[in-house]
Amino acid sequence: MKDEVTHWETFSNSPPWFMTVSGYVSGGFDANADQLKTESIDDFAAYMVGVTERLEEAHGIDVDTIDPFNEPNTNYWGTQLGADGNPTGGRQEGAHMGPELQQQVIPALASALEGSTTDAVISAMDETNPGTFARNWNSYPQSVRDQVAQLNVHTYGTGQRTTVRDIAKGEDKPLWMSEVGGNWSSTGQDFETMESGLGSAQHIVDDLRELEPNAWVFWQPVEDYTNMAPGGESADGMNWGEIQIPFDCTAEDTLETCPIYTNTKYWATQNFTHYIEPGDRLVRSDDASSTAAISEDDSTATVVHVNATTDERAVTLDLSKFGAVGSDATVTPVVTSTAGYLVEGEPVASRTKPRVRAPRSRCPRSP
């Protein structure tokens, strides 16, 4: 399995507790205050490099990028203490690091990488949304920007996608949409509703169209079924993850005693992953519900169209601006809906203009 991984990245949710101001990896007592001690910046950089080197040695892998941050310029990461002195809040590791502190950590990490055994380069800064990413990045001096080889951004907020796209193009650096996930459902934990699949699919389309990332990465595609069930993370349950399985399964369990569940996000995503492959390139579409791509060898084109309505929709593919279209060219519709997943229809021949009109084209849609 690990031999099939094409890019390894190490990243930090939080420095070790003894490098933090609060002494907790769940965040500071003030979630808006920097959590990494300034006197621990060099130690934190050495820790990141050291962990990466040990992972490479232990598992026989080559890490490509190191990101020392995770959604750093936010107020997400806070720790609250009860009357007994024990934490009462802050269930997830995290550490606030504002842009000024980021500008100190990145050079320290670059220095720690010099002479190390890893060939990894720096990625940054895994910010929660494009707008905050842009604000952080625009505050960096050019010397710090030059030390970042890959730009990482999340899309839990969606404004200013094109701003970050243009930053990446201007810097001539690869851009990753390095994390997003979501519930995309109003019905709680629900493995049948197309609502979650359609919501996820439209988010992918929007990210690919506006952000134009080199990679698009899920946050935790496998979630704990029990935590997502009603009464776990929420009263009604949730649809985070594409696959859910109880995390307390043992080696003695079987698929009957510890079943694996997939929601419609799992199937809707395959409309992208089964047809748009690494090396393919995205091309412009004038439809906000469609992603279009050309294969690496220029022999085929793929359009993933999201129809979030309950009605059938005609999709017209205008191929007139292609340099050449084969006389025997066809379009094969593949549909994911409540009626079935990746259901392949009959190929539709192109018109001589050329123009193709298909009732549906590779589109996750509602029934």
pLDDT at residue number 358 = 36
Secondary structure E strands in the chain = 9-11, 65-67, 121-127, 150-154, 175-180, 215-218, 222-224, 243-245, 261-262, 281-283, 290-294, 301-305, 315-318, 330-331, 334-337, 340-344, 348-349, 355-358, 363-364
Phi, then psi, of 266 in degrees rounded to 5: -60, -45
pLDDT at residue number 359 = 34
Residue 343 has pLDDT above 70, yes or no: yes
CA dihedral 134, 111, 105, 180 (to 10 degrees): 50
Q: Are strands 301-305 and 315-318 parallel, antiparallel or unpaired?
A: unpaired
**8 A C-beta contact, residue 345 and residue 310:** no
Helix (H, G, I), strand (E, B) or coil at 9: strand
Residue 365 has pLDDT above 50, yes or no: no
**Among 119, 101, 94, which Cα is nearest to 27's?**
94
pLDDT at residue number 56 = 98
- Give the total residue count for the chain: 367
pLDDT at residue number 13 = 97
pLDDT at residue number 325 = 85
Tokens of 356: 């193709």
Band (352; pLDDT cuts 50, 70, 90): low
DSSP H helices in 60-193: 99-113, 130-139, 142-145, 161-171
Rounded CA separation 167/86 (Å): 43
pLDDT at residue number 324 = 84
Residues 6+ apart with CB under 8 A from 294: 280, 281, 283, 300, 301
Of the candidate ranges 47-51, 107-111, 285-289, the one whose mean pLDDT is the lowest: 285-289
Q: How many C-beta atoms lie closer than 10 Å to residue 226's C-beta?
A: 14
Rounded CA separation 149/120 (Å): 10
What is the Cα 240 distance to its own chain's centre?
13
Cα–Cα distances (Å) from 140 to 107, 122, 136, 147, 197, in that order, read 11, 15, 7, 11, 38
Average pLDDT of the chain? 93
In the beta sheet, which residues pair with residue 215?
176
pLDDT at residue number 89 = 76
Residue 348 has pLDDT above 60, yes or no: yes
Residue 292 has pLDDT above 80, yes or no: yes
pLDDT at residue number 244 = 97
Phi, then psi, of 126 in degrees rounded to 5: 50, 45
Residue 57, burial from CB neighbour count under 10 angstroms (0-12, 13-18, 19+): exposed
**Among 116, 147, 124, 123, which Cα is nearest to 53's?**
116
Residue 163 has pLDDT above 90, yes or no: yes
The 10s digit of each residue's pLDDT in 277-286 is 999 999 999 9
DSSP H helices in the chain: 41-59, 99-113, 130-139, 142-145, 161-171, 194-206, 225-228, 264-273
pLDDT at residue number 323 = 84
Residue 305 has pLDDT above 70, yes or no: yes
Of the candidate ranges 29-33, 254-258, 343-347, 353-357, the one whose mean pLDDT is the lowest: 353-357
Name the helix (H) or strand (E) containing 82.
none
DSSP H helices in 229-349: 264-273
Band (327; pLDDT cuts 50, 70, 90): confident
Residue 366 has pLDDT above 90, yes or no: no
The rounded radius of gyration (Å) of the Cα atoms in the chain is 23
C-alpha angle with apex 213: 103 to 49, nearest 5 degrees? 40
Residue 315 has pLDDT above 70, yes or no: yes
pLDDT at residue number 360 = 37
pLDDT at residue number 88 = 86
Residue 326 has pLDDT above 90, yes or no: no
Residue 171 has pLDDT above 70, yes or no: yes
pLDDT at residue number 183 = 93
The 10s digit of each residue's pLDDT in 113-156 is 999 999 999 999 999 999 999 999 999 999 999 999 999 999 99
The 10s digit of each residue's pLDDT in 29-74 is 999 999 999 999 999 999 999 999 999 999 999 999 999 999 999 9
pLDDT at residue number 165 = 98
Say whether pTM exceeds 0.85: yes
Residue 11 has pLDDT above 90, yes or no: yes
